[in-house]
Structure 1
Amino acid sequence: MARKKTILKSHILDTAYAVVKKEGFEGFTARNIAKTMDCSTQPIYLEFKNMDDLKNELYVKIKDYLTETIFANDRSEDPILNICLNFVHFAKDEPIFFKALFLENHLEPKKMHNLPYEEMLKAFEDQAQTNSLSEAEKRVLFETIWISVYGTAALLAQNLIELDEVALKNSLEKKINELIN
């Protein structure tokens, strides 16, 4: 009788996700993931062609986490400001994970940059001042806003600045309003 498979693809993916969240991509090795699961590397390579295959599936899990958990928080009445504040809070609350995703080049930087852009496009659609903008105008508006947001988040994740919630919210709100109006 054949042995029953005890280590499933989903277990490996969940473990890889937990490792990256805790250690960053420095811990993203077959050996380290297997050690965390208390098994050999064989189940990993039975379920995934290689580590890049695992990383591609990990990206989908990360994207779901960011869109369904991080960007879904309501920190403001303004959907555009919400995206900005949620990104900054992610950097503050989960600095290792933030750095692994947005400051290091382990996942495709353009794909990672497009995640908040896609969320911002949804927010632009929810506002009368921005929903009629062309795709190019929306991209420029996002990039102009995102320079401040990304810079603030990167500085927070590296403990180079302290988060002053009120000042941050006022500053971003002012910048967004100036750019939209």
Structure 2
Amino acid sequence: MPKQRITKEMVVEAAFEIARKEGAEKVIVKNIAERLGCSVQPIYSYCSNMEGLREELVERTRTFMKDYIASRLDRTNYFWSMGQAQIHFAKEEPNLFKMYFLRRRQDISSLQELYTKEGSPDMGEYLSQTLQISPEKARELHLNMIIYTMGIASILATTGSDIPEEEISDRLEKAYHAFCAQSREEHNE
């Protein structure tokens, strides 16, 4: 029986599945080889160091998360449904959430920098038009909601808590209205 040819894509996918089911700390060469049913040699040929594999894994997770969130967006209430999708992602995919969001980032030195690098540039424009506030205030509103939403999502992903959906939605709604009121007040000053 001919040996199966192991590809880089197979290695990344196996690492992704391990991280998804067991957590990023279980992504080691031995476990990847076991999942693929091969020796560690093919894994080492693609992963001369684990840092490169972790970068590939983060990118694979980003793609998965974007597809996950996009499939749950309501175009009539884009902003709200985005926050809800992120909360659901943290609850349903806690290992991926932790690996992606709770990782150390060397290139981020402020919340504004994080927003610029990771935020959706279209959201600020959408909020500006929808709420009739300046683009600057819209981006600030968006950043505030990201911080608040990620706080709740982190609680869900790290504690395994089963906080009722209604309680989470109520908190998000209150935060949204408070941040909107603040943005409108500052806009009218």
Q: Which TM-score bucket, shorter chain as reference?
A: 0.7 to 0.9
Letter in 2 for 1:29: I
Shift of 1:163: 2.7
Q: What TM-score do you get using the length of structure 1 for normalisation?
A: 0.77
Question: Who is 1:140 aligned against?
Answer: 140
Percent identity, please: 27
Unmatched runs of 5 consecutive residues or more in structure 2: 109-113, 185-189
Q: What TM-score do you get using the length of structure 2 for normalisation?
A: 0.74
Shift of 1:12: 0.7
Counterpart CA distance in 2 for 1:175 and 1:155 is: 16
Where does structure 1 differ by over 6 angstroms across 4 or more consecutive aligned residues?
none
* DSSP-derived class of the 1:7 partner: coil
Unmatched runs of 5 consecutive residues or more in structure 1: none
Instruction: Give the count of matched residue pairs.
Output: 173
CA distance 1:93–1:5, shift in 2 (3 Å): closer
Mean Cα deviation higher: 95-104 or 144-153: 95-104
Shift of 1:37: 1.2
Counterpart CA distance in 1 for 2:89 and 2:135 is: 28
Could you tell me whether the CA contact under 8 Å between 1:96 and 1:157 is conserved in 2?
Answer: yes
CA distance 1:43–1:161, shift in 2 (3 Å): closer
Mean Cα deviation higher: 154-163 or 30-39: 154-163
Question: Who is 1:59 aligned against?
Answer: 58
Counterpart CA distance in 1 for 2:45 and 2:162 is: 45
For CA contacts below 8 A with separation 6 or more, give which structure has more relative contact order.
1
What value does the CA root-mean-square deviation take over the aligned residues?
Answer: 3.0
1:99 aligns with 2:98: yes
Counterpart CA distance in 1 for 2:118 and 2:154 is: 17
Greater fraction of residues in helix: 2
Counterpart CA distance in 2 for 1:73 and 1:85 is: 8
Shift of 1:4: 7.7
Question: Who is 1:175 aligned against?
Answer: 175
Counterpart CA distance in 1 for 2:107 and 2:162 is: 26
CA distance 1:61–1:7, shift in 2 (3 Å): same
CA displacement 1:82-133 (0-9 Å, x = unmatched) = 221111111111222222332354x7695xx6699423x3333223127841
Question: Who is 2:80 aligned against?
Answer: 81
Question: Who is 2:155 aligned against?
Answer: 155
Counterpart CA distance in 2 for 1:16 and 1:27 is: 9
Mean Cα deviation higher: 52-61 or 159-168: 159-168
Letter in 2 for 1:179: F
* DSSP-derived class of the 2:173 partner: helix
